[in-house]
Amino acid sequence: MSVVKVGLLGLGVVGGGVWKVLQSNDSEIARRAGRRIEVTAVAVRDVDKARRLVGDRARIVQDGMEVVRDPDIDIVVELVGGDTLARQWVLEAIEQGKHVVTANKALLAKHGNEIFAAAHRKGVMVTYEAAVAGGIPIIKAIREGLTANRIQWLAGIINGTTNFILSEMRTRSLTFDAALADAQRLGYAEADPTFDIEGVDAAHKLTLLASLAFGIPVQFDKAHIEGISRLAQEDIGHAERLGYRIKLLGITKRGADGIELRVHPTLVPSQCLLANVEGAMNAVLVNGDVVGPTLYYGQGAGELPTASAVVADLVDVTRLAAAEPEHRVPYLAFQQDAMVDIPILPIKDVHSSFYVRLRVEDRPGVLADLSRILADCDISIGSMFQEPYGVDQADIIFLSHDASEGAVDRAMDIIRTLPFVKSDLTRLRVENLP
C-alpha cells in the first residue's frame, strides 16, 4: 500500500486536531482510502511546542516555503489562517504541482478566484470542506450530492459563536452583552469577537456557498453584512410571540435579476428546523429544484470537527489524484470554463418580509397615519400588535408581507420624521423557511 505524504502548515487548534486524528484513526482511515495518509513535514512558529506533539515522526520547520517546496510532499494542508502568508504558500504549493487542502474561508472568499485559476492551470486540486460549517460535509453535499439540481437558494446558521449568543439571549433572557461575555468565558467567542458578531466570518462562508450553489466567482466584497451586536433582547421576545426565532443567517438566492448574498439577523418560523438549531451548532438548508429542501447539521467549529473535514478532504484528494483533471470534482462545483457571472443584487433590490418595532405616542390616529404611509410605499402588513409603554406611549410591532428593501427604506425615512414617533426604528428581515 503506497503512502500519501502530507505537509502541514500550522499546528494550532485545527492543525493539532488533524495530527491527532491521523494518528488515532490511522487504520480506519486507511481502510477507507486504500492508502495510508502520513504527515511527513510540519511548518510552525514554535518548533519546540510542535516537537512535544509530533516527536520525531515528522520533520518540523519554521518556514512554510520549505514544506511547500519539499519534493516528497503530495498534499499541502494550509491551517495558518489569514491571507498573507497563507496566500503565498498556497500559490507556491500549486506552482509546485501539489494538491492543497485548506480550512481558510477568509483566504478563499477574498482570493479564491486567483487560487482556483492557478490550480486549474497546474491541474491540481484545492479542497476546503473545513472552511464552511466545520465538520458538516456541506461543501461535498452541494458540490457532489446535489449535482442533479438547479439550486434555488440556501440559508444557513454558519457561525457558531453568534448562534450560541442568540440561544443564550432567548433561553436565558440575557442581553447581547451578557450573552457575549458568557460565550467568551466558555470559549465560544474570542477576546476580540468582531469578525464573528458582525457577521464577517459568516459572510466569508456564505460567499463560498453561493459560488458552489450557482457556479459564480467568489465575490465577498458584494455581500451585504449585518451582525447581531445591536440586537435588543426585547425583539427576541416579540419575535417569539409572533411565532418566530431570531437567527443570524447567511442567505443566498437566485432570482430573475441576479443573486442575493446577505448575512443578517433573521426571523424564522419557530417550528422550522433551523429555528431549533441551538447553541454553537451549525446547519445549512439547501433548496434544489429536483430534491426540494435538504438540511445538514452538526458542529461548525472546534479542533476535532474541523479536523474531521480536513481529513475527509485528504481522503478525497487521494482518491481523485489519478482521475482526469478535467472531470475531477471542480473547485466551485462547476467546471472552471462553465462559471457564469450572474450579478449580485444590491441589497435595495432584495425582497423579503420585515419585522419593525417603534415607540409612539399613544393617541388616536397614530395607527391610521402609519398604515397610510406603509400603504403609500407599497408595503402591506401581515400582523401587528401594540404594547403600552409608560402612561402615554406604546410600542408597535408589525410584520410586513413581501416588500423590497428600497420601499421599506423609503417608508422608514418618512416614519422616522413623524412627530408622534418617540424612538429609533428597529427593523429585521423575516424568512418564512420550510
Site residues (CB under 8 A) for its own copies?
Answer: 21, 25, 28-35, 129, 134-137, 140-141, 144-150, 215, 271, 273, 276-277, 283, 288-299, 304-305, 307-312, 315-316, 318-324, 326-330, 333-335, 338
| 132 annotated ligand-binding residue | no
Q: C-alpha dihedral over 223, 228, 232, 234, to 10 degrees?
A: 90
101 annotated ligand-binding residue: no
Q: Which residue number, 37 or 231, has a Cβ lying nearer to its own copies?
A: 37
Of 205, 222, 348, 422, the catalytic one is 205
Q: How far is CA 404 from CA 351, 398, 428, in A?
A: 4, 16, 13
Phi-psi map region of 292: left, alpha, beta (phi>0 left; psi -120 to 50 alpha): left
Please enumerate in sequence order all residues whose Cβ is within 8 A of that of 207, keeping only pairs 6 or more positions apart, or say none. 109, 112, 218, 219, 220, 223, 261
Instruction: Residue count of the chain, please give it.
Output: 434
**Least distance from its own copies to the Cβ atom of residue 295, Å:** 4
- Do 413 and 250 meet the contact criterion of CB atoms below 8 Å apart? no
Least distance from its own copies to the Cβ atom of residue 77, Å: 13
Least Å distance, CB 245 to its own copies, is 13
**Catalytic annotation on 348?**
no
Task: Confirm or deny that 8 is annotated as ligand binding.
Answer: no
Between 129 and 395, CB nearer to its own copies: 129
The minimum distance between CB 332 and its own copies, in angstroms, equals 10
- 255 is annotated as contributing to ligand binding: no
Residue 233 Cβ vs its own copies, minimum distance, rounded to whole Å:
22
CB of 129 to its own copies, least distance (A): 8
Looking at the Cβ atoms of 176 and 214, the one nearer to its own copies is 214
156 is in an annotated binding site: no
From CA 277, how far away is CA 301, in angstroms rounded?
Answer: 15
Q: Which is nearer to its own copies, 35 or 49 (CB)?
A: 35
* Amino acid making up residue 237: G
Choice between 117 and 291, CB closer to its own copies: 291
Q: Is 110 assigned to a binding site?
A: no
Q: Are 286 and 151 in contact (CB under 8 A)?
A: yes
Closer residue to its own copies, CB minimum distance, 287 or 426: 287
Q: Is 315 annotated as a binding residue?
A: no
The answer to the question of whether 22 is labelled as a binding residue is: no
Nearest to 139 by CA among 343, 329, 276: 329
Q: Report the binding-site residues.
A: 9-16, 105, 190
Q: Report the binding-site residues for NADPH.
A: 105
Q: Report the binding-site residues for NADP(+).
A: 9-16
Residues forming the active site: 205
